[in-house]
Each structure stands twice: as C-alpha cells, then as structure tokens.
A and B are shown apart, each in its own frame.
Chain A
Amino acid sequence: AQTVTQSQPEMSVQEAETVTLSCTYDTSESNYYLFWYKQPPSRQMILVIRQEAYKQQNATENRFSVNFQKAAKSFSLKISDSQLGDTAMYFCAFMYSGNTPLVFGKGTRLSVIA
C-alpha cells in the first residue's frame, strides 16, 4: 500500500520569503502522480501543482515549484515570495493512476506572517 508522510505539522514564513514543505512517499509502483493540494479556511481543496513520475523535469506553477527526487521518493513544495493568501493547510498526495483514489499525507499548516 502507498503511504505519504509529511513530517512538518506546522510552519510559518514571513511575507515575501521562501518556504519549503517536505513530503516523502512509499510505493513499489513506477508510474504514478504526485500532487500538492491547498486547503484554506474556506475548506475548498485546491490543486496547487502536480507531477507525473515519468517526467524528470520538476513542475512549476508561478510561485510554486517542486523538487521531485524519484529515487529518494521525495516530493517537496517550494513557495517563493510568500503571500498572506498562501496561509492554509497543504496536503501532499499520491495517485497510482488516473482513476484510483488519492492517498494523502497528514498535512502541513502554513502561516504567512505580515
């Protein structure tokens, strides 16, 4: 069974600074997807960024980028130029293939401080 581990329950960062959230996972599969989801106080789970395991290039979406280390089974999220609106719970998630359920980590609560 796949597992996802987020070792940082809470983090804080000053506005405009950079922060990195950690995620490791365990799987015997070679093809899969990895995601970071954001859940603000409004509770809506929003996709931040996704990575296909077969792609060596790290995914980037504006201020969000990942460091995907397949051999180490590591998938960290870097948020640059942090904004107050980035304050939320961040969940790392694993999906084996298109129609299989997501497996989530426990989440990291990020607070951006003005």
Chain B
Amino acid sequence: ETGVTQTPRHLVMGMTNKKSLKCEQHLGHNAMYWYKQSAKKPLELMFVYSLEERVENNSVPSRFSPECPNSSHLFLHLHTLQPEDSALYLCASTSRGEGEAFFGQGTRLTVV
C-alpha cells in the first residue's frame, strides 16, 4: 500500500461513453501526475499538477481532460476515446524535496 488509491481498477467503455478515473492521496503531497502505460512502450507522462495548477500537458488529445479540485484528488475525464487509448493509466504523487514518486495501482482501461 503506497498511500495512492486509484479507482476503478478496471474499466471497459465504448467509444461514445463518458467516464472518469479517480486518484486520491493522503500523503500530504503537492504534485500529482497521470501516466499512460501501453504494451511495449515507455511510460508516457500525460499531465502534471503542482499545487492544483496544471503545469504540463504533453500534447495529450482533448478527449482526455484532467481535473484537480484539491491537492489530494486528481481525475481524468474520458470522452469519445479510441481503441488505441486502451492502456494502464497510472497516477503518482510527489512532495517537493523528497525526490520520490508514489504510485497508485493503476486503472486498466479497455476501449471497445
């Protein structure tokens, strides 16, 4: 148990659905991240939030929409996804000066 919780663990959605992934940490960290992990590809950084402000968006398609309502919660809203978006989505958090990222268990997303 790392202190970072992601829900749901598994999600199957159609291309016309709208769903959201949730990440929660109560470690007192002030930065949170979304990563995408696809088979045979390196982990891809999608979004960075620091002190609840988005500081990085790595050319992610607009069908992915992040939200960080407070320093403990991070969401990834999904809309009209494509089959190639099927992947493991990992959330992580860090605290300035500690130099270590804590990860959730990921959400395995399948787009059909």
- Complex contact B105–A95 (CB within 8 A): no
Number of A-B contacts (CB under 8 A): 60
Interface size on B, residues (CB 8 A): 27
- Taking a contact as CB atoms closer than 8 A, the residue among A37, A98, A107 that contacts B97 in the complex is A98
Per-residue CB proximity of A75-114 to B under 8 Å, as 1/0? 0000000000000000101010111011111110000000
Shortest C-beta distance, A99 to chain B (Å), equals 4
Q: Which residues of A contact B (CB under 8 A)?
A: 33, 35, 37, 42-47, 50, 52, 91, 93, 95, 97-99, 101-107
Interchain Cβ contacts under 8 Å between A and B, 12 examples = A35-B100, A43-B105, A43-B106, A44-B105, A44-B106, A47-B101, A95-B101, A98-B96, A99-B31, A101-B45, A102-B45, A104-B42
